[in-house]
Amino acid sequence: MARPWSFAAGPARLPDEVLGQAAARLADTTGDGLSILELPFTGREFGAVIETAEQDLRDLLGLSADWRVLFLQGGASLQFAAVPLNLMTQGADYLMSGYWSERAAREAARYGPVRLLRQTADVDPRADYCHVTTNETADGRMLRALPEAAPLVADATSDLLGRVLDLDRFGLVYASAQKNIGAAGLTIVLVRQDLLGRARPATPSMLDYAVQAANRSKANTPPTAAVWMAGLMFQWLKRQGGVAEVERRNTAKAAHLYRAIDASGGFYRGMVPAAERSILTVCFRLPTPALEENFLAAATARGLLHLKGHPVVGGLRACLYNAMPEEGVAALAGFMAEFKA
């Protein structure tokens, strides 16, 4: 039976190939009768899983030895607190670009002065760091021009590995895995070595990047199965040709959908200016909320699932992460033309 197309923001669709591999290897992951779900995190077998995953991620991103890679829990939302706990002494700048940057800034403000920037040029060189959200998942807005700030901190939950990010510009990048990387429960933090060891004394040890780096992400139990899933995804991504190649595909997929929106004579309307449109999270509206409800019901009946927008932002949203093939986008674009008619 053909699988439905899920356009969910997260947990999001995974490639058929990776799901097949995971299913085949779940019960006997090591080849001698032990499942990944049963492997102690301190053991040699899980050690090989996490080290291979780290190396593959380093290869995909071209990370130099200056970067530490952490496999943590708690989601991007816990990083909203971990970042100021580790890096804020005087105050920080937060570039406001949509729903998630507001959430990040609101949480950071519990730990010290936060300045809300409306544009990249407003950045204060004396700030401890400047935080940006490189893809606003709920709004459908992708950040293309970065502020000149050191260090620059990014919530890249919905675009890490979905497009090429110039990592030389950043000091810290974090992403929870359930959008574009793998299964829920894992949060990846990339942090430059020179930013370690600055955490304020009351920082919970498990949130202290220096503690986690010194323990190779094993200061407590890491999300072992989610690390394994991410590792399978990294290998799949390498087989696809790497990040530049999936960015090319993601750009083409999004262009297909935006054409369907723009060619509808105003029936479908994009939610952000064309120059800010995301290639990963496409947000649009119909003329009335009632029509949006009809659209969702009809789409669901056709196996086009989870197109409802973020509840705070409203409208509709199609997430076109790496695992969504062109075929799924074509099915959605075809349905949109039909529904309008």
Looking at 157, 203, 212, 278, which residue binds ligand PLP (CB under 6 A)?
A: 157
Size of the site for ligand PLP (CB under 6 A): 12
Return the residue of 176, 180, 250, 322 that touches ligand PLP, per CB under 6 A. 176
Among 5, 10, 81, 208, binds ligand PLP (CB under 6 A): 10
The answer to whether residue 155 forms part of the interface with ligand PLP (CB under 6 A) is: yes
Query: Is 139 an active-site residue?
Result: no
Is 5 in contact with 13 (CB distance < 8 Å)?
A: yes
**Active-site hit among 5, 67, 93, 100:** 100
In angstroms, give the least distance from the CB of 138 to ligand PLP: 7
Query: From CA 199, how far away is CA 110, in angstroms rounded?
Result: 15
- Amino acid type, 326: E
DSSP helix, strand, coil percent of the chain (3-state; round to 5): 40, 15, 45
Would strands 187-192 and 92-95 be described as parallel, antiparallel, or unpaired?
Answer: unpaired
Q: Is residue 160 a contact partner of residue 188, using CB atoms and an 8 Å limit?
A: yes
Residue 180 found at the interface with ligand PLP (CB under 6 A): no
Q: Does residue 179 have an active-site annotation?
A: yes
Indicate which single residue of 6, 97, 137, 224 sits in contact with ligand PLP (rule: CB under 6 A): 137
Does 76 participate in binding ligand PLP (rule CB under 6 A)?
yes
Distance in angstroms (rounded) separating the CA atoms of residues 105 and 193: 24
- Catalytic one among 139, 155, 159, 208? 155
Measured from the Cβ of residue 339, the count of other Cβ atoms closer than 10 Å reads: 17
Selected from 77, 235, 264, 300, the binder of ligand PLP by CB under 6 A is 77
Structure tokens at 158: 């919905």
Structure tokens, 78: 């816990």
Q: Which of 6, 29, 86, 133 touches ligand PLP by CB under 6 A? A: 133
Provide the minimum distance between the beta carbon of 20 and ligand PLP in the complex, in angstroms, as a whole number.
26
Residue nearest to ligand PLP (CB): 75
Pick between residue 29 and residue 136 the one whose CB is nearest to ligand PLP: 136
Tell me how many degrees the CA angle 241-242-243 measures, rounded to the nearest 5: 135
- Could you identify the residue written with the tokens 């919905």? 158
Which segment (69-77, 124-132, 245-253, 290-298) binds ligand PLP by CB under 6 A?
A: 69-77
Q: Which residue out of 179, 208, 236, 308 is catalytically annotated?
A: 179
Cβ of residue 16: shortest distance to ligand PLP, in angstroms? 23
Rg (CA), the chain: 20
Would you say 29 or 101 has its CB closer to ligand PLP?
Answer: 101
CB neighbours of residue 217 within 10 Å? 22
Q: Per-residue x/- marks for ligand PLP, 78-107, CB under 6 A? A: ----------------------x-------
Task: Based on the residue annotation, tell me whether 194 is a catalytic residue of this protein.
Answer: no
Cβ 2 to ligand PLP, closest distance in Å? 28
How far apart CA 283 and CA 218 sit, in angstroms, is 38
Q: Of 311, 229, 272, which Cα lies nearest the Cα of 21?
A: 229
Question: Hey, what amino acid is at 14?
Answer: L
DSSP per-residue codes, 154-173: EE-TTTBTTB---GGG-SEE
Catalytic residues: 100, 155, 179
Chain residues binding ligand PLP by CB under 6 A are 10, 75-77, 100, 133, 137, 155, 157-158, 176, 179
